[in-house]
Amino acid sequence: MMKAVGLVVEYNPFHNGHLFHLQQSKYVSGCDAVVAVMSGHFLQRGEPALIDKWTRAEMALAGGCDLVIELPVAYATSSAEWFAHGAVALLEATGVIDAICFGTESGQLAPLASAAKLAASNSTSLKQLLQEQLNLGASYPRAYSNALTQLLTQATDWQQNAIALDQPNHTLGLHYMVALERLNSSIKPYTIAREQAQYHDPMPNHHAIASATAIRKMLLEAQNQNLESISAYVPRTTLDLLERTLIKEARQPMHWERFTAQLFYQLSVMPPAALSAYREMEEGLEHRFTQYAKQVSRYSVEELLSAVKTKRYTRTKLQRALLAVLLQHHKQQFTREQLTQGIQYIRVLGFTEKGQQLLKDMKKKAKLPVIHSPAQLLGSSDYLQLDVAATSCYMQLFEAKNPKLQLADYHKPPIRL
């Protein structure tokens, strides 16, 4: 019987650090297959993906994943709590996952496990402490970590094991653990220390490993789509796929500035009251965005973000708010109840032969419909409609010469490798 480990990924793009994590995950969990839950065209930090999800799924398969399923955009662009919930609920729903393995700054699972148990069972007191912290003006991640630490120091011998809960991968790891708790999942968690490259490092600092941020920066700055600068940091397979997409197919890597027209259009036409209906647009942020969208020196998302930024809001938070404006994600579609019940389909983006075995297995064990195209289910899931809209919005710019690719979600079969 095949054993499968689940990874939660963005692969933007798939690089040597991802390859290393993938191999380590199989090793520590003793699994022989890898299932990746991958975000589609828009990502957790509130940004568009560099290249389309099918090409990224192909990178994942070429790099050692056996099955790639898509994290619906409703979760892929959520803050850590719901991002983690969506990903873990999807893995759980496949019915074939034995383990989950994620990278953290410390590589320690025990403190995350005790923090998660506490967070999952004390959500009311946690919410209260969190609100107090927010009222003091802390950013959300900092406030959450402070609140949880308060709870932990009251309740356990936390001090001895203490890890910095507000580090980005500890935050995500904690929420994977909380989700496993809440779903009462039998999936066994593992963590691996991310030593090679810090999440946000803009510059490569290791021989063969650079952060995805650094790699994207090199790609966006490369003259004439020259891929040489990144060749040391990505597997050959990734390099080939980037070459195919960016050079042979002559597509431009996506980034926020390519949505400038659409975004500033929205910010100029919509009154603040209408903007505030979008997710993450709260506490007066809508007024700040409306105001600064008309005070920038030129139409630039970067300049807008800098103008709106305050200590209170992380850049990620602001980008997520802009993404909600771009994708027209209304708060009313993302209530706690809807998010709790929103994982309703398993969308396959690609698979290997081994992945095909897993898919066969899933025919018996999966708790949700497994689909290859939204056509199989559309109309019955609002979140699926959001996925289709996100692809449509993305492809309009990624492939401006072919409007029919707006419907790629319907026409593109899963990648088989």
Task: Tell the smallest beta-carbon distance from residue 264 to a copy of itself (Å).
Answer: 6
Using rule CB under 8 A, residue 297 touches a copy of itself = yes
How many CA within 13 A on the CB side of residue 266? 21
Using rule CB under 8 A, residue 299 touches a copy of itself = yes
Using rule CB under 8 A, residue 327 touches a copy of itself = yes
Q: What is the CA radius of gyration of the chain?
A: 21
DSSP 164: -
Residue 190 three-state SS: strand
Q: Which is nearer to a copy of itself, 252 or 328 (CB)?
A: 328
Binding mask 251-270 for a copy of itself (x = CB under 8 A): ----------xx-xx--xxx
**Angstrom distance (rounded) from CA 270 to CA 244:** 39
Residue 36 three-state SS: strand
Q: Which is nearer to a copy of itself, 161 or 392 (CB)?
A: 392
Task: Tell the smallest beta-carbon distance from residue 262 to a copy of itself (Å).
Answer: 4
Task: Tell the smallest beta-carbon distance from residue 85 to a copy of itself (Å).
Answer: 25
Residues 366-395 interacting with a copy of itself (rule: CB under 8 A): 385, 389, 392-393
Q: Which is nearer to a copy of itself, 14 or 259 (CB)?
A: 259
Q: Which is nearer to a copy of itself, 366 or 389 (CB)?
A: 389
**Burial label, 117 (beta-carbon count in 10 A; 0-12, 13-18, 19+):** middle
Q: Which of 184, 186, 248, 298 binds a copy of itself (CB under 8 A)?
A: 298
Using rule CB under 8 A, residue 364 touches a copy of itself = no
3-state SS of the chain: helix, strand, coil percent to 5? 55, 10, 35
Query: Does 85 show up as a binding residue in the annotation?
Result: no
Using rule CB under 8 A, residue 333 touches a copy of itself = no
Tokens of 23: 């191999």
Distances (CA, A) of 404 to 328, 393, 411: 21, 12, 9
Residues 273-292 interacting with a copy of itself (rule: CB under 8 A): 274
The beta-carbon contacts of 256-260 under 8 Å, at least 24 apart in sequence, are: 256/47, 256/48, 256/301, 256/302, 256/319, 256/322, 257/300, 257/301, 257/302, 258/48, 258/397, 259/48, 259/301, 259/326, 259/397, 260/299, 260/300, 260/301
Query: Does 226 show up as a binding residue in the annotation?
Result: no
Task: Tell the smallest beta-carbon distance from residue 388 to a copy of itself (Å).
Answer: 9
Bridge partners of residue 102, in order along the sequence: 191
Residues that bind a copy of itself (CB under 8 A): 261-262, 264-265, 268-271, 274, 293-299, 326-328, 385, 389, 392-393, 396, 400-401, 403-404, 406-407
| Residues annotated within a binding site for ATP | 8-21, 103, 169, 194
